[in-house]
Amino acid sequence: MTVHPLPAWVEPRHARSLAEASARLRAWSLCLHGDLRAAFEAMAATTGAGAAQGAEAYLSPVSQPVVLLPLWLSAGLADQVVVDLLGSALAGYLAVRVQDDWCDRGTGDARCAMVLSAALLARHAALAGQHAVGQDYWKLHADHWERYATAMSAEQHLAAGDGAFGEAEFQRVLDRSRPVVLPGAAALALTGRWNQVHDLASWVDAVVAAHQRFDDLRDGLEDLQAGLRTMVLAQSGARTPGQWVAWLASGGASVELAMADRELAQAQGIAQRMGMPEAAPWISARRAAMVAWQARWQSGPLAGLIDLQLRDWKIISRSLSHQDGAASRTFGPRAGDPRSKQTGPRND
């Protein structure tokens, strides 16, 4: 098996902790039976979480920061505490993923989705809750999962064509990513830095907004063909692939990418204020991914819309030569990976 260098935003101990958390999740899954076990195995095969290999996809600069925050904010914590927070992050992400796959694509069985998601949510809460995170954390936990539920409901109405889908609606729907905050917030609670939790939430808001704009641009043709409704597609007014490409070429892509870049700049400022230096090379690599995508479709719009998945990062990583700390690491396929529209702990 080829061993790839770690990206600059990840230390070797981080990679070891993530591997252990993923292995523990897999061991937990062995307690599942029948359809639930099969559903978990199918999800593990596409997300990498709980799989024998593939959890490193969560370290990608074009993924959601599902596991990065508890790593970056865990200085001073025992290794096993960090593993528990990572396990909580993975379980929370997969709980959302099960729901999102069923709601968006009808993937799997509704009964399995309901029961498996509930089991994963229980694990998500228990792994963080066994440590002294405090009442403020649990209040935040309840608030962010309530906001997730409200946002998911709103997204389903918007996806069905109920009402306008503009910038205001986009921002409200992004509350579905609020649980991404929680593992990092637990680390702040355990290290006596709870005063930074609002900055942490603002960082997640900015990164998630930038991620979703780019994801919706990159996957616009696929979403259009699948009949999905996103804010970017709604703004474009496209009903055919030709209309979508014309909108991109007329400046639509540039506008959305500029907004995403501003959001990443905001995130970088917050990270500096929080003393989270690992975020800088990760954000730089994410920006490079957006620049490379834009250059690619501008050189040939249709070619640039075909198969623009995580292989973009493979191309980018080879050319960056570790610029801004980006390293040549490759990651798994789009389907089901944490860079897709699912967030949590969608929108992967």
With pLDDT > 90 as the criterion, what percentage of the chain qualifies? 56
**Distance of alpha carbon 313 from alpha carbon 184, whole angstroms:** 25
Give the start-to-end residue ranges of the domains of the chain.
12-325
| pLDDT per position as a tens digit, 24-34 | 999 999 999 88
Lowest average pLDDT, out of 42-56, 119-133, 192-206, 211-225, goes to: 42-56
Find the length of the chain: 348
Encode pLDDT of 61-101 as tens digits: 888 899 999 999 999 999 999 999 999 999 999 999 888 87
What integer pLDDT is reported at residue 182 of this predicted model? 97
pLDDT reading at 316 higher than 70: no
Tokens standing for residue 297 = 């479709």
Judge whether 57 and 338 are in contact, CB under 8 Å. yes
Q: How far apart are CA 65 and CA 343, in angstroms?
A: 9
Q: In this predicted model, what pLDDT tens digit does every residue of 236-290 receive, in sequence order?
A: 999 999 899 899 989 999 999 999 999 999 999 999 999 999 999 999 999 999 9
Task: Please give the share of the chain, as a percent, with pLDDT higher than 70.
Answer: 81
Q: SS3 sequence, the chain?
A: CCCCCCCCCCCHHHHHHHHHHHHHHHHHHCCCCHHHHHHHHHHHHHHCCCCCCCHHHHHCCCCCCCCHHHHHCCCCCCHHHHHHHHHHHHHHHHHHHHHHHHHHHCCCCHHHHHHHHHHHHHHHHHHHHCCCCCHHHHHHHHHHHHHHHHHHHHHHHHHCCCCCCCHHHHHHHHHHHHHHHHHHHHHHHHCCCHHHHHHHHHHHHHHHHHHHHHHHHHCHHHHHHHCCCCHHHHHHCCCCHHHHHHHHHHHHHHHHHHHHHHHHHHHHHHHHHHCCCCHHHHHHHHHHHHHHHHHHHHHCHHHHHCCCCCHHHHHHHHHHCCHHHCCCCCCCCCCCCCCCCCCCCCCC
pLDDT-based confidence at 122, cuts 50/70/90? very high
Between residues 40 and 338, which one has the greater pLDDT?
Answer: 40
Q: According to the model, what pLDDT value does residue 51 have?
A: 54
pLDDT value for 106 = 63
Average pLDDT over residues 168-184: 93
pLDDT at 298: 77
pLDDT for 252 equals 93
Tell me what pLDDT residue 54 has. 57
Name the architecture of domain 12-325: Orthogonal Bundle (1.10)
Query: Which residues does 265 contact at the CB level (< 8 Å), separation at least 6?
Result: none
Higher pLDDT: 157 or 341? It is 157
Give pLDDT, residue 347: 38
Q: What is the pLDDT of residues 186-234, one digit of tens each?
A: 999 999 999 999 999 999 999 999 999 999 999 999 999 888 889 999 9
113 has a pLDDT exceeding 70: yes
pLDDT tier for residue 317 given thresholds of 50, 70 and 90: very low
Q: Cα(342)–Cα(337) distance, rounded to whole angstroms?
A: 8
Tell me, rounded to whole angstroms, the distance of Cα 28 from its chain centroid.
23
